Amino acid sequence: MSGEIAGEKLMNRWTVVVGAILVQLCLGAIYAWSVFTKALEMPVADGGVYGITKLQTQLIFSVGLATFAVVMLFAGRLQAKAGPRPISMLGGIVLGIGYMLGGLLGKSFVAQLVCIGLIGGAGIGLAYVVPIAVCVKWFPDKKGLITGLAVAGFGFGATLWVKLAGGFKTILWLVPFQFKGLLATVHVLGLPGVQGVFLIYGIVFLVLVLLGSIVLINPPAGYKPAGWNPPAAVAASGAINLVEREMFAAAQFYALWLVFMGSAMAGLMVIGCIKLFGIDALQARGAAADAAVAGPIADTAMALLAILNGLGRIVWGSVSETLGRKVSIFLMCVFQGLIMFVFYYIGGTTMGLIVGACIIGFNFGGNFALFPAATADYFGNKNVGTNYPWVFLAYGVAGIAGPSIAGKFSGAVPKGAELAVRLNAWFMPFAIASVACFAGAVLALTLKPPAHKTKQA
């Protein structure tokens, strides 16, 4: 269904969704970071190339997330002025250049911090808001579902990039098939594995984002889907189009911001450390004889977390169309708080690690469908491209807090410490994340639409 304006036939609006997903597949590369941390952290004395510390790898990840969120503030305004397509394309170019430079120059912590964290994060921030802003305007009748679909590629993309880099085993037409992964097989320009993969990824990201951006255009003014008339509640919401300064005066903004920060912190903490935690927990609880056995299990948990992250965006967005955004956010935070509380205990078994990672990823994905839709509900569809980046800034804060908390506690364990000591260090980060989620659930209960209308922006 495309819709019509004054008898003019418009393009099929689902084409925009396809372009949005293609762009988001590449932007999700930041969630594949854990697949590189083992190689980055291997001491030079033990044959490693980089010798970057555990805290430093988490810092690169955190800086990438924070840069992503901050740059979105500018991207929202730029896409409103210049149009969505050129800003999305610019994001793809910056992201691709960042990863290519990380491949060519990334021998040191500082180089990786600048190329992957700052430049790569900036590219993601430039492109990320565009699919959301465009899709909400094409689908005012399905805001929750469509924002979930628009950003689902971000979660699914992480699985793709993890498996391409780290390898996988599968059954292909009943024949066992194993791919060792680009980290173990590529030798581009004589670069070490991590840098070779970054160079390849940078080229791929640049090309795919440019292709997906071609269809990211806004509908004409006054557009509405064919055969759709907004119900009274939606019509009232649509009459509210707050600009940024008006949104800052609304209590809903601060409530959404804090809930988002608490919920996102839990997921980002686990994404940044799941492989390290899994290796420690599986060995300490006797589920794996050594790190060589525990590593592939943790890789599987990490990949499935990414898949459920993408699926959670779609499901939670769809559920919110029925239950409402407030109830859905509350339930998501409660479920995440519960699983974060028990993950420390169940993560020492193969099934517990995998199931726990899947639930965490599923709930974490819901953030990216529910909060942009809630931003459109409370502050209007028209300016969601400029308003949502301010709500999303909570994700940037969470991206620093979550991985840094995990890195601080786990990184404080002396080298060579017993497995039990290493495992105990993970308890406090998960407990902090659990409390943050429960606090977010309580705060979510206060969410309600603005009490009054403002003038149209």
Write out the two tokens for 204: 């791929």
Higher confidence at residue 257 or residue 169? Answer: 257
Cα gap 364→312, rounded to integer Å: 7
Highest mean pLDDT among 180-184, 238-242, 323-327, 401-405: 323-327
CA 123 to chain centroid: 14
172: pLDDT strictly greater than 70:
no
* pTM greater than the 0.85 cutoff: no
Q: How far apart are CA 343 and CA 139, in angstroms?
A: 37
* Rounded Cα gap, residues 409 and 159, in angstroms: 27
Which residues on neighbouring strands pair with residue 171, listed in sequence order?
176
Residue 243: per-residue pLDDT: 86
Q: Would you say domain 16-444 falls under CATH 1.20.1260.10?
A: no
Question: What pLDDT was estimated at residue 232?
Answer: 57
Task: Look at the alpha carbons of 401, 427, 281, 307 in this order and tell me if their dihedral is positive or negative.
Answer: negative
Among the ranges given (36-40, 100-104, 170-174, 361-365), the one the predictor scored with the smallest mean pLDDT? 170-174
Identity (one letter) of the amino acid at 411?
A: G
What would the mean pLDDT of 164-190 be, rounded to a whole number?
A: 74
Q: At what angle do helices 34-41 and 251-284 cross, to 10 degrees?
A: 50
Q: How far apart are alpha carbons 332 and 58 in whole angstroms? A: 26
The pLDDT tens digits of the residues spanning 337-357 come to: 999 999 999 999 999 999 999
In the three-class reduction of DSSP (H, G, I as helix; E, B as strand; rest coil), residue 287 is classed as coil
Q: What is the DSSP string of 199-259?
A: HHHHHHHHHHHHHHHTT--PPPTT---TT----HHHHHHHT----HHHHHTSHHHHHHHHH
Burial class (CB in 10 A: 0-12, 13-18, 19+), 416: exposed
Q: What is the pLDDT of residues 49-95, one digit of tens each?
A: 899 988 899 889 889 988 998 898 899 889 988 999 999 999 999 99
| Domain boundary assignment for the chain | 16-444
178 forms beta bridges with 169
Q: How far is residue 448 from each of residues 9, 109, 286, 378, 438, measured CA to CA in Å?
A: 38, 45, 48, 8, 19
The mean of the pLDDT values for the chain is: 86
